[in-house]
Amino acid sequence: MTDLDVPSGRPAAVPTPEPGDARLHRLSLNQKTIDRWNVAEAVAGCAAAGVPAIGLWREPVRAYGLRASAKLVAEAGLRVSSLCRGGFLTSPDPDAWRNALDDNRRAIDEAAELGAACLVLVVGGLPPGSRDLPAARARVAESLDLLVPYAVERNVRLALEPMHPLYTADRGVLATLGEALDLAERFPSSAVGVVVDSFHTWWDPQLPAQLTRAGERIAGVQLADWITPLPPDALLSRGMLGDGHIDLRGFVRLTDAAGYTGDIEVEIFNADVWAADGAQTLATVCRRWTEHVI
């Protein structure tokens, strides 16, 4: 292991925590942070680095096999902090919508099999050609009415993810935590929670108040930094912890104060991070975690 951080290349300010370091006890690697790793590599990487939890994605889980993934994760003693992701529920077209609901039911089944703490829902953007934001938001509510009973039967908690307004048009029409809570509160907290990502929510002047309101609805916490200039591809614009402008420690303290005690995922979509060596990236994540988060 070098003593250089990845991907920023600056000298590491703190030593890499050893596996077993108690400071890592709530850290979870969202596997999208190291996009090149398959499930087996991600599980082995977490075990080697002493990271006790993992956030899984459906596509690599499918590629490795659902049952095999569940077995591997369980044998490694890793907690599954979330399964990413269901959602994309905004189509007004009956067939497309029915297909989306069916796909979400499969995602719920997968989350149950994996024992995931929640299934993250990225609710979807405006349908093609539509400028009707209220209608898209209403379609999400209508979808939840149908999905929640199915999830409750399987003991899977759904987690609505408010997305940065950067993505309102094309990824997620829920733009604030307050709006996600308005929707979630129509259901029991055990059935529908929220996942709060620093990248998506850090700018919101209502964030402290809405986190307090959320309380036990917080089903997951994710971290990435906001970097400037924003990388050219908006979908890959998240920064390594400490490379940007977010007070990540303050953010996590707010979630602590709201009563959240679960795992905290690091989830970074970034071309430079994805190009780096996986083990080095995970070492950087662990270092930055001790430097900027806890």
Q: Which span (17-25, 39-47, 112-120, 198-206) binds a second copy, by CB under 8 A?
A: 198-206
Q: Nearest 5 degrees, angle CA 54-CA 55-CA 61?
A: 100
C-beta closer to a second copy: residue 80 or 140: 140
Site string for a second copy, 203-232 (x = CB under 8 A): xxxx-------------------x-xxx-x
Candidates 72, 133, 146, 294: give the one binding a second copy (CB under 8 A).
133
Output the 3-class SS for the chain. Answer: CCCECCCCCCECCCCCCCCCCHHHCCEEEEHHHHCCCCHHHHHHHHHHHCCCEEEEEHHHHHHHCHHHHHHHHHHCCCEEEEEEEEECCCCCCHHHHHHHHHHHHHHHHHHHHHCCCCEEEECECCCCCCCCHHHHHHHHHHHHHHHHHHHHHCCCCEEECCCCHHHCCCCECCCCHHHHHHHHCCCCCCCEEEEEEHHHHCCCCCHHHHHHHHHHHEEEEEECEECCCCCCCHHHEEECCCCCCCCHHHHHHHHHHCCCCCCEEECCCEHHHHHCCHHHHHHHHHHHHHHHCC
Task: Kindly report the number of other CB atoms within 10 A of residue 278's CB atom.
Answer: 20
C-beta closer to a second copy: residue 116 or 268: 268
Q: Would you say 97 and 103 are in contact if contact means Cβ atoms under 8 Å apart?
A: no
Candidates 75, 142, 153, 233: give the one binding a second copy (CB under 8 A).
233
Site string for a second copy, 244-283 (x = CB under 8 A): xxxx--x---------------------------------
The least distance separating a second copy from the CB of residue 211, rounded to whole angstroms, comes to 14
Candidates 132, 256, 277, 291: give the one binding a second copy (CB under 8 A).
132
The least distance separating a second copy from the CB of residue 201, rounded to whole angstroms, comes to 9
Q: Which span (5-13, 53-61, 212-220, 239-247) binds a second copy, by CB under 8 A?
A: 239-247
C-beta closer to a second copy: residue 215 or 250: 250
C-beta closer to a second copy: residue 230 or 257: 230
C-beta closer to a second copy: residue 41 or 179: 179
Alpha carbon distance 39, 60 (integer Å) = 6
Q: Would you say 201 and 207 are in contact if contact means Cβ atoms under 8 Å apart?
A: yes
Site string for a second copy, 151-190 (x = CB under 8 A): -------------xxx-xxx----xx-xx-----------
C-beta closer to a second copy: residue 14 or 230: 230
C-beta closer to a second copy: residue 168 or 290: 168
C-beta closer to a second copy: residue 68 or 235: 235
Residues making contact with a second copy (CB under 8 A): 126, 131-133, 137, 164-166, 168-170, 175-176, 178-179, 202-206, 226, 228-230, 232-234, 244-247, 250
